[in-house]
Structure 1
């Protein structure tokens, strides 16, 4: 509807639940009034946003990754408990359950070695490389975010996904440079994730959960009732 109207938002009508709105959504209610909107009498302008990552680091039912003694929990993981679309607040339960299970697993497998006896690791990345091409991590990050929103957003198709992959591939020149700042490493991680997400969306020739392909609008349980793992 936003594309059809060439608008940055659509309207949410919450006037029918005006007696319950302030109690059920106190923060939103307060923010609306701060912006000069009375949700009990007026429509609320809303727009989609990236809210939750469906998928991530593959773990077992105890939060163990494929690296021994490395555990992961929460939104960064792909535990499979949400299916293709998370129901509201279920991430809280996931964090509670898997966080507890990870703690129990670590406690059970803990060694007698003191953490103070462990040698400090000196981490490095491309330490002998020089700047291959000048770039601004901040500006490139903004461009990447815009690309992912426009080409790998809510409504996906083959053409847009291929264009996104091409652009992401062009940005991989940054890996020929030495990373010195947090922003450098963050940008590198974002480019890797963008590549994985876009490739997965291109491979999955169906629509399922929050993943919608306008060129493959139907769900295909025969071929795609499965995870994509890299």
Structure 2
């Protein structure tokens, strides 16, 4: 079945919803989301959104903190753009109904938190439910807008681009191809529909499910990055996988995050003997950036042989902790851990992809009419390591940037006719009868990535995983051609693609910088590697074109 719309938004997190609300001023918007509209990483975000909102803070300080965290790879013009637009975007969220926490003694001022790597209090939050409150506020606006359609349980399979649909296109400016929409799997019918659009937006979230242990929701299978790469878009800096230092360690819980704000409010990392250890690794102690803290915990666990370390905030009053961290407090208590009287067991887990689909300052990719933002994108803001709570900020700023660009281009876009493209054809594909073909490869990929491409890497392990992944990727691609598609097979194809791309980026970068720590090259090499790692699919997959800009 063929469908058409003006704007096709793939993903229903903060960036996609923010853009959709604005784009509806120009035309019809269709949002597709893999599961329910609230099943997003945004909904799970605890800490908050960073912006300069106090006279005790400044743009210069926020810019400096971001650049320092990014380990020399941040694009300073992008950092300045995002930071300086931050306050206006926070005010906009408030106007849209998002309720951030105010100071108890002055409701006219926001209660600002502080997190690792920040030199001032600048985190707007809703206690430890910030993401949920943002998602609720934006979804309410979307539901009230008749020009926005939300299709739940719809999963994008691949992008429609001119070069693959036989549609004439003349490359121009910085664009190498043109996006015309996407093929979309409908979970209800099991069919694949053709959605054509004048503008397509990728905001599918991150890649955490590529790893065995992650704080991410189950939807985080790198779909946007994989689809964009297959379509010919540039992807970059995929070696920079941020491992959150403090994921709850408990056999009954697989991905519950203990917010960085706990350390921001005085929490200390200790070993099983109660000894604090962060001072051995960084002068900032427990408020060091995430890359440093994650490697410190990894080092402590390897040295001791222990399964976890502990986060202790018992010196704070119980009433304060219950009010400031109600979700974390209740979750821990349900598992028999009272954070007011005992430390919380924690381990690092895959958390955030700092790289992604390469974009310019307007969120545009190198494929015309294809935008990317949120965790799917590599905008130049994060560099080699994202500063805490800059992710939600980046999402709303680039959603606004993309809207401004679309608004400028809309007079021409509105007049342009959508070309005819072929509908999905399954050919002689058979129904898959043995799900073990999917589940076994899925498990293999995630274990290989955790064991070989984790917090600390070696050239030997990277070479081994590259060789083993090649066999798995070939097998998965064969499944894709042989069998009728299912959601699991679509996601498996994407995590296999993204895992391969992460490894290729990691193999290219012969240094240690930010989140990429390579034992054989323990220091940064500014002369050769103070630059982005860029990959782009060459003609005739499986080809590859790896470079650094």
In the other structure, the counterpart of 2:464 is 163
1:182 is aligned, of 470, 484, 487, to: 487
Q: Secondary structure at the match of 2:454?
A: coil
**Residue pairs, 1:121-200, within 5 angstroms:** 122-124=423-425, 127=427, 136-171=437-472, 172-177=474-479, 178=481, 179=483, 180-200=485-505
* CA distance in 2: counterparts of 1:124 and 1:4, whole angstroms: 55
> What are the Cα deviations for residues 202-229 of structure 1, in whole angstroms up to 9, with x where unaligned?
2211111111112222122121111011
Structure with more contact order per residue of length (Cα contacts < 8 Å, sep ≥ 6): 2
Shift of 1:188: 1.3
Deviations 1:111-159 (A, max 9, x none): 23499x775752357x45679xx76212211211111011001111111
Contact 2:476 2:496 in 1 (8 A): no
**1:207 aligned counterpart, secondary structure:** coil
Give 1:193-208 correspondences, 5 Å limit: 193-208=498-513
Contact 2:512-2:521 within 8 A present in 1 as well: yes
The structure with more strand, counted as a fraction of residues? 2
TM-score, normalisation: structure 1: 0.88
| Separation (CA, whole Å) in 1 of partners of 2:321 and 2:517 | 31
Q: Find the residue that maps to 2:345 and give its secondary structure.
A: strand
The alpha-carbon deviation at position 182 of structure 1 amounts to: 2.1
Name stretches of at least 5 consecutive residues in structure 1 with no aligned partner. none
> What TM-score do you get using the length of structure 2 for normalisation?
0.39
Match of 1:81 in 2: 381
SS at match of 1:229: strand
CA contact (8 A) 1:58 1:65 kept: yes
- Contact 1:64–1:72 (8 Å) recurs in 2: yes
1:51 to 343, 346, 351: 351
Q: Is the 8 A contact 1:129 1:176 kept in 2?
A: no
Taking a change above 3 Å as real, the CA distance of residues 18 and 212 of structure 1, as seen in their structure-2 partners, is farther
Say if 2:342 is the partner of 1:37: no
SS at match of 1:226: coil
Question: Cα offset for 1:108?
Answer: 2.0
Q: Which of 387, 398, 404 lines up with 1:104 in the alignment?
A: 404
RMSD: 2.3
> Which of 195, 210, 213 is equivalent to 2:515?
210
Check conservation: 2:309, 2:345, Cα contact below 8 A.
Answer: yes
1:3 and 1:154 map into 2 onto residues whose CA distance is 12
One of 284, 304, 314 as aligned partner of 1:15? 314
Provide closer, same or farther for how the CA distance between residues 121 and 104 of structure 1 changes in structure 2, counting only shifts above 3 A.
Answer: farther
Q: Relative to structure 1, is the Cα distance of residues 25 and 118 closer, same or farther in structure 2, using a 3 angstrom cutoff?
A: farther
- Bigger proportion of residues as helix: 1
CA distance in 2, matches of 1:3, 1:124: 51
